[in-house]
Structure 1
């Protein structure tokens, strides 16, 4: 669920004034929240002073200024380094630094041991989307449900909020899962443009066709989800795996003819061939998910 802020502005601290941190600070300032900001490189934080932010000299000073503390730093190690030795007792630490599920769980235990409540976050937006209610950007949150409920309206100021559970690793898990899917999509997009590059096909004319096709195919994720939950990969199959693998030969041969490397395709087509070889030709390609699980137990 995406929430809209309704509560009066409260003061908060932001650790990190990079591109994303700066965008967050500006969004909260614009909404009337008093913001204390700290950055390891002081000049970046000082630039926000003219916009109304209070600049702290140290991370400890910034944390002591407010109960709600937002961390948006380079990586998990940066969070640990910035807050080393800082008293977190009674603080609400919301970590919007990109990390892994294990980072989130470990950092949650670390914060709790130091007397703080903890939320981890995964930002599904780029800086220009922050503070724009119509951008579609949002942030996954996981960890303390009480912390989220108390600060939900404040957290919803820069971008929409989606709480995904008490497990502090779930925000990063959702974030990275979506980003991984995006990476795979961009790999396919790169391959598609490479195929047409040497031909009399204008990329700008091809782009709308590609975008429309990807949009039309996207709903297939719902069938994949249903098949996984049923444990029945033959449910609702339109084009079975045997047909898909046969069709892959044309994709690979076309790449060869066009002088294009198939290295973005072959990892996936190879997995499809393996699942087919295990006797799943009448199923969909969903079984590839099982092949990706390390130490899997074949059905």
Structure 2
């Protein structure tokens, strides 16, 4: 029988354990605080008293904790020799690389993952997970990991799955915060989130065309301003900031965006395109290296 252990039963870990039960796996679960495994145990999951016991129960352990440091704490007393850890916890690429080394020193194989859906999407069509680490280990356990979501292998570097994931999160969080900024302005003017939702959907859908159009220019460092000049963008952002201010809504996040574009204009790039933003966003060391 296929076996897997789940380390960590927050909403994501619970969804992962449920998906494995749905797929007919023998599932062992562990969580630091009691009570989160009740429904899973009722469905047939085995409760481990310790994380070490959970790791011992299966060759593959899927880790879903707050970060890498929490995994170190949870697994400190576990015998990892010959085991496979698939750490799907969010963290930064360098910490993922360090954790892979930590696992190797203890005889374990280590895969890093970045989950691209919320808990409700686990095991459902459209779910995807970035995975990186040793290719042969991924190949051996791909079928088990695909139970959670279609895996997208990003190579042997254990940091790459987290890099791709954090890139997605960069876009997600700025867009999601922008949604609430818009809702706050709407509410200040007597509108509701429901009133602007259709237009938010249109804007979100249209972003794909902006990404596709700007990617070649960004990769070529092409400052062509035919489609969008920084001066035009800066003026538009000023209007957004003033609309928020006139509505009595906090402008801190919007002002930061506007300042970036204005910096480009002040540097003499007003007639150039938005690819100029990359130079403004790069660290001085990275800019010099290019």
Q: TM-score, normalised by structure 1?
A: 0.89
- SS of the residue 2:252 aligns to: coil
Q: Please list, as runs of the form range in 1=range in 2, the aligned pairs for 1:192-207 lying within 5 A after superposition.
A: 192-207=182-197
Give the corresponding residue for 2:245: 256
1:27 CA drift (Å): 0.6
1:243 CA drift (Å): 1.7
Give the corresponding residue for 2:40: 48
Give the corresponding residue for 1:21: 13
Deviations 1:12-35 (A, max 9, x none): 111112211111111111111111
- SS of the residue 2:271 aligns to: coil
1:118 CA drift (Å): 0.8
- SS of the residue 2:62 aligns to: strand
Q: Please list, as runs of the form range in 1=range in 2, the aligned pairs for 1:249-288 lying within 5 A after superposition.
A: 249-288=238-277
Deviations 1:22-68 (A, max 9, x none): 11111111111111112212332344222111112221121112111
Query: Which of 257, 282, 287 is 1:293 aligned to?
Result: 282
- Bigger mean CA offset, 53-62 vs 289-298: 289-298
Residues 256, 115 of structure 1: alpha-carbon distance in 2 compared, 3 angstrom cutoff: same
- Bigger mean CA offset, 40-49 vs 115-124: 40-49
Deviations 1:49-95 (A, max 9, x none): 22111112221121112111111122211100111132211111100
Deviations 1:222-280 (A, max 9, x none): 23321221121317x41211222233332233233323332121111111111222222
1:172 CA drift (Å): 1.3
CA-based RMSD of the aligned residues comes to 1.9
**Cα distance in 1, alignment partners of residues 193 and 54 from structure 2:** 49
Q: TM-score, normalised by structure 2?
A: 0.92
- SS of the residue 2:37 aligns to: helix
Give the corresponding residue for 2:160: 170
How many equivalent residue pairs?
288
Residues 74, 259 of structure 1: alpha-carbon distance in 2 compared, 3 angstrom cutoff: closer
2:228–2:274 contact (8 Å) kept in structure 1: no
Residues 47, 258 of structure 1: alpha-carbon distance in 2 compared, 3 angstrom cutoff: closer
Give the corresponding residue for 2:229: 240
Q: Which runs of 5+ in 1 are unaligned?
A: 1-8
Give the corresponding residue for 1:154: 144
Give the corresponding residue for 1:189: 179
Give the corresponding residue for 2:129: 139
1:220 CA drift (Å): 0.8
